[in-house]
Amino acid sequence: MQIRDLPYPDPGDPDVRSGPRFLFWLGRNQLRGQLKSMSWGLLHQCSLAGLPPAVGFAVQAVVDRSGSRLAWSGGLIAVLGVLIALGDTMLHRTAITNWITAAARVQQLLARKTAELGAALTRRVAAGEVVAVSTGDVEKIGWFVEALSRFAAAAVALVLICVGLILYLPSLGVLVALALPLLALAVLPLLPRATRRADLQREKAGKATELASDTVAGLRVLRGIGGEELFLGRYRRASQEVREAAVRSARMWSLISAIQVLLPGVLLISLVVYGATLARDGRIEIGQLVTVYSAASLLLFPLRHFEEIAMAYSFSRPSAQRAVRVLSLHRTDRPSTVDATPTGDLYDPVTGLMAPAGLFTAVVCGDPDEAGRLAERLGGHAHGDADSGGVGNGAEDSTEDGASDSTDDAASEQKIPSVLLGGVPLDELPLDSARTAVLVQDKDPVLLSGTLRELLDVPSSGRVTAQDALSAARCGDVLDSLAQASVATDGDPMTTRITERGRSLSGGQRQRLALARSLVTDPEALVLDEPTSAVDSHTEARVAAGIKALRQGRTTVAFTSSPLLLDLADRVVLVHRGTVVTVGAHRELLHTDPRYRAVVTRETDDEIAVLTSQDAINPIRTIEEVEERA
């Protein structure tokens, strides 16, 4: 695999049973690259191992006053120097290639999963966690894949060098061969504790980052209520906890490094003392002692890779586990039996909500959270416990070795009925068809950075132009402000760049631009969750009229409690505690249903009781009386 071959034509189906299994799957899919890197690493390590004998031969040649052997030794050292440079260069090149290709594979998998799940992804995993996995965690996973081949080359080189020393000089080679396993495995008892401390540090750092992000996002509100110092104190405490955790983690890793310096030092001292005794007694030559000592000194270099692979694994394992948590999310769609996108009524069998085809239906819920969940269900996205029709997560309910929780099977058997469009369950439609048929705009839509033209360049039926959608969403003032900001583009608002998440716009402007984007798509059924909550009443009335006019003959569902929207709706549905309790016109329901009147007019329980008793004595006859009492 070469970097120029990226991205992968197909990144494959990952093993998401656990973090270690995912790492193994990554390494196995880059076996060719790992073997190539390992081969160059062996060339580098073996060339380094060849220096001690060459130096030993040179020293012995000087002792024996042999010029020819000294020349041969010098030539051998020069050749080994070239091979060391070549091996080190190519090892670095191939190892970095392995790192980049592994990171690219993980990012492709994450991008594919994000596109597959859409908005359902962030209902199971926080958006910040997805970003963290695709940035910092990908880097740590790539580090382990990169270090793996270097470690394998170092381990093979250690075995070869030990065998060579035993054959060359058994009296000292056996000492080195017996000591090396102890040096390599001495830090293993400390690794679990070091890993736990590193995990704790990352956990605290994540919480501090989340707190900082929330503080920045809510800075305007904090200033309004004078809460800056309170949150600043919380962040200071959180940052101090991160610092303390980082210090404790660094102490453990420094102890591991110190052990890997101390024990080899003890080996070298022992080797010199014992070897000098043998040389004094004439049992070995000076050149042999220099050769064995030099080889033992160079063994410390490959031993460093044991520490590196331990650190890489300890950092990459939790990162891989987080990646697995995202990648194991899946849609449990049933096999599609429908070829064309259906048309007709939109019906939810759970609540009994019916949105007739071609009509503007307004839905009133006393609980805003219930309204959001119902809007998601209408779009074919399950929420919370009702995941069986939309998203399932095998990582959260599985043990480290991949054994699934038995409760998943029981939950899967109790599937909640899917929403029907024209009598066809949405979860039986292909994903693209389901998204084309029903579009849901939630109450906090996101605007991607780019120009306004790019924002409105979305898949659509082609029946609604961008200008028509902007006009229906009453975005005239937004276009004026963008035109003033587009000095470099001759005042064309369509070419003005919108900053990330539309932060340069007000809440109402962002909401109307998002509404225009939804109107451009012109889906068979459009579901809007509080589409005018961020605008004033005058703009709200105009937006409501624009939506109804543009969506004439198309199915539209709006979750709202605004009288201006409700009065324009063809029919109004009241949902109470997860069930449709009444259907009718807005003005009619104000007269006849106290619960509906309480939600729309924001009455308290005491006011409801008083008005109910008054209605029994003196019924309300006109809408003006309702507004007067409210």
Tell me the per-residue pLDDT of 101-132, one tens digit each, with 9 for 90 and over: 888 899 889 888 887 776 666 666 666 667 77
Q: Distance (Å, rounded) from C-alpha 445 to C-alpha 442?
A: 6
pLDDT of 227 reads 60
Q: How far is CA 68 from the centre of its chain?
A: 64
528 membership: H or E segment, kind and range: strand 525-529
pLDDT of 412 reads 40
pLDDT of 55 reads 80
Closest CA to 473 of 445, 503, 451: 445
Top-confidence residue, 374 or 428 = 374
Percentage of the chain with pLDDT > 70? Answer: 82
pLDDT of 89 reads 93
Q: Distance (Å, rounded) from C-alpha 81 to C-alpha 58?
A: 15
C-alpha separations of 513 from 220, 331, 352, 518 in Å:
23, 30, 32, 9
Q: How many CB atoms lie within 10 A of CB 107?
A: 19
Residues 199-213 have a mean pLDDT of 76
Q: Distance (Å, rounded) from C-alpha 245 to C-alpha 591?
A: 63
pLDDT of 335 reads 52
pLDDT of 256 reads 82
Mean pLDDT score across all residues of the chain: 79
Q: Report whether 242 contacts 201 (CB < 8 A).
A: yes
pLDDT band at 354 (very low <50, low <70, confident <90, very high): very high
Most confident of the following: 13-17, 405-409, 556-560, 602-606: 556-560
Question: Which of 160-169, 218-227, 412-421 shows the lowest mean pLDDT across its residues?
Answer: 218-227
Q: Which domains are assigned to the chain?
A: 13-328 (1.20.1560.10), 346-383+417-616 (3.40.50.300)
Q: Distance (Å, rounded) from C-alpha 189 to C-alpha 182?
A: 12
Residues 224-230 have a mean pLDDT of 65
Q: Distance (Å, rounded) from C-alpha 587 to C-alpha 590?
A: 5
pLDDT of 222 reads 58
DSSP 503: T
C-alpha separations of 577 from 62, 351, 352, 370 in Å:
96, 9, 12, 8
Top-confidence residue, 335 or 627 = 335
pLDDT of 401 reads 37
Tell me the per-residue pLDDT of 451-504, one tens digit each, with 9 for 90 and over: 888 888 888 888 899 999 999 999 988 888 888 776 555 677 888 888 776 777
Residue with tokens 């039996």: 337
Tell me the per-residue pLDDT of 37-96, one tens digit each, with 9 for 90 and over: 999 988 988 888 788 778 878 887 888 888 888 899 889 889 999 999 999 899 999 988
pLDDT of 406 reads 37
Q: Distance (Å, rounded) from C-alpha 155 to C-alpha 131?
A: 36
The distance in angstroms from the start CA to the end CA of the chain is 71
pLDDT of 398 reads 35
What are the tokens at 477? 């003032």
Top-confidence residue, 136 or 16 = 16
pLDDT of 620 reads 40
pLDDT of 10 reads 83
Closest CA to 1 of 85, 96, 65, 69: 96
pLDDT of 391 > 50? The answer is no
C-alpha separations of 241 from 70, 193, 200, 214, 255 in Å:
61, 18, 10, 18, 21
Backbone angles phi, psi at 36, to 5 degrees: -65, -45
Q: Distance (Å, rounded) from C-alpha 315 to C-alpha 326?
A: 18
Q: Distance (Å, rounded) from C-alpha 109 to C-alpha 107?
A: 5
Tell me the per-residue pLDDT of 186-199, one tens digit each, with 9 for 90 and over: 777 887 788 788 77
Residues 2-8 have a mean pLDDT of 73
Most confident of the following: 19-28, 506-515, 567-576: 567-576
pLDDT of 609 reads 53
pLDDT of 614 > 60? The answer is no
pLDDT of 155 reads 85
Question: Which of 218-227, 269-278, 373-382, 511-520 shows the lowest mean pLDDT across its residues?
Answer: 218-227
Tell me the per-residue pLDDT of 289-307, one tens digit each, with 9 for 90 and over: 777 777 777 777 777 787 7
